[in-house]
Amino acid sequence: MFGDDGDHALTRRTLLSAAVLGGASLATSCGSGAQRGELRYWNLFSGGDGDTMKAMLADYRAAHPQVRLHDVTLEWGDRYYTKLAMAGAAERAPDVAVLHLGRLPAFAPGGLIDPLRPDLLRRAGIRAEHFPESLWRRSGHDGRPYAIPLDTHPFVQYFNVEVCREAGLLAPDGTLEPPRGPEGLREQLRAAKRVTGSHGLLLETAGDGVVPWRLFWTLYRQAGGQLFTPDGKRSAFDEGKVRTVLEFLQSLHAEGLTSTGLDADGAIALFSSERGGFFWQGEWEVQTFLEAGIPFSMMRFPGLFGPPLAEADSHAFVLPRQEERTDEQHLMIYEFIAHLLRRSAQWAAGGHIPAYLPVTTSPEYTRMKPQSLYRSVIDDVQLDPDVWFAGSGSRMWTELTAILGPVMDERMSVRAGVAAMRRVLQDLLATPNPVE
């Protein structure tokens, strides 16, 4: 599917534009070039994910004592991507780093990351058929491979099992019956609210989080909506579908079925104290609720406007720009990635769905509950539009969330929200990719 490696030319303009991609200045960097037996790795994992990654790295070190592995954890978001972009442009990059696939269109075209070597990937045991086709396709650019997916982290539905049982919403086997369209969901939320006496649904609509974007993209894609043409150069904004989604979300608040003005921490705290029947968020809060000891379960996000599609992104491994890598250095990096992939059931404990199919289909992962209950969504995940200004922590997320959150809890009208979204997308389309 992808071709072999080739050279990239980096200009002074690319170096300067790398700062624009992240929106901040470069504070630290490290020397580039994998020395013999030495490997430098950057990631953005904190909290439970950070602890799990450190354990996986300790396992790698124990199995490969001949490799001196230096790992650096940087802050998630624009600061991380600024440092990664600047390091690649300035040729002071680590040997391997984590990148969200949604950010690939901002990094690959300008040569801030290097293409992978298919021949050496195969020698390390990494093949296209080991990954979902849609994720592998998004891992390339211009017909060449640039990333190896570690996982996918979709938008999911959490629910309180005891609340739903008392509300009469569970099937005989204890699973939650999927709602029949928007009205079916309203009925479920009404029933859950009668039990809790507080909230049917808890979710984040305020603060600097990203649930409003993830929820909108989930429902808009279920309805068949696109934001841009396939080449990413023109708007495909479907005002009718956007209005339908926003009116539905606002109606849940108007009926008192959802929480009001909560940030992510507030919504998590209320669900942990069993004040709501349902909670919408990414799957990474699974350990939070397991530690809280509440009776909860999880499922893929229900299909309300069409198929049960869900917004997602994917952590992936990339090779930040370096002037030259030998075959030996490439192979050492790919064997490091392959080691982590083969042990990604450990990574899945935090909720992420392993992208490496031999693990995703393994008995070890299948036995993991509730983490494996929503794994079928991996074939239907909806990554952000394939444009340079999208992806985790991107400018598009920030600017659209600032509109969507107020619309969801009635601080802004649907009409004003639709107009504001259209303006944001037009402005983004009119902004040239700084590294092209």
Calculate mean pLDDT across residues 179-207. 96
Q: How confident is the model at residue 8 (pLDDT cuts 50, 70, 90)?
A: very low
Q: How confident is the model at residue 268 (pLDDT cuts 50, 70, 90)?
A: very high
- Domains (ranges, CATH) in the chain? 12-150+314-375 (3.40.190.10), 156-311+394-430 (3.40.190.10)
pTM here is 0.90
Per-residue pLDDT tens over the stretch 368-418: 999 999 999 998 999 999 999 999 888 999 999 999 999 999 999 999 999
CA 407 – CA 265 distance, rounded (Å) = 20
Per-residue pLDDT tens over the stretch 87-133: 866 667 899 999 999 999 999 988 899 999 999 999 999 999 999 99
Per-residue pLDDT tens over the stretch 317-345: 999 999 889 999 999 999 999 999 999 99
Per-residue pLDDT tens over the stretch 197-248: 999 999 999 988 889 999 999 999 999 999 999 999 999 999 999 999 999 9
pLDDT value, residue 110: 83
Given a cut of 80, is residue 141 above it in pLDDT? Answer: yes
pLDDT value, residue 6: 39
C-beta of residue 238 within 8 angstroms of C-beta of residue 225: yes
Given a cut of 60, is residue 33 above it in pLDDT? Answer: no
pLDDT value, residue 89: 66
Per-residue pLDDT tens over the stretch 65-80: 999 999 999 988 778 8
pLDDT value, residue 35: 52
CA 166 – CA 303 distance, rounded (Å) = 24
pLDDT value, residue 209: 82
Neighbouring C-beta atoms of residue 233, cutoff 10 Å:
9
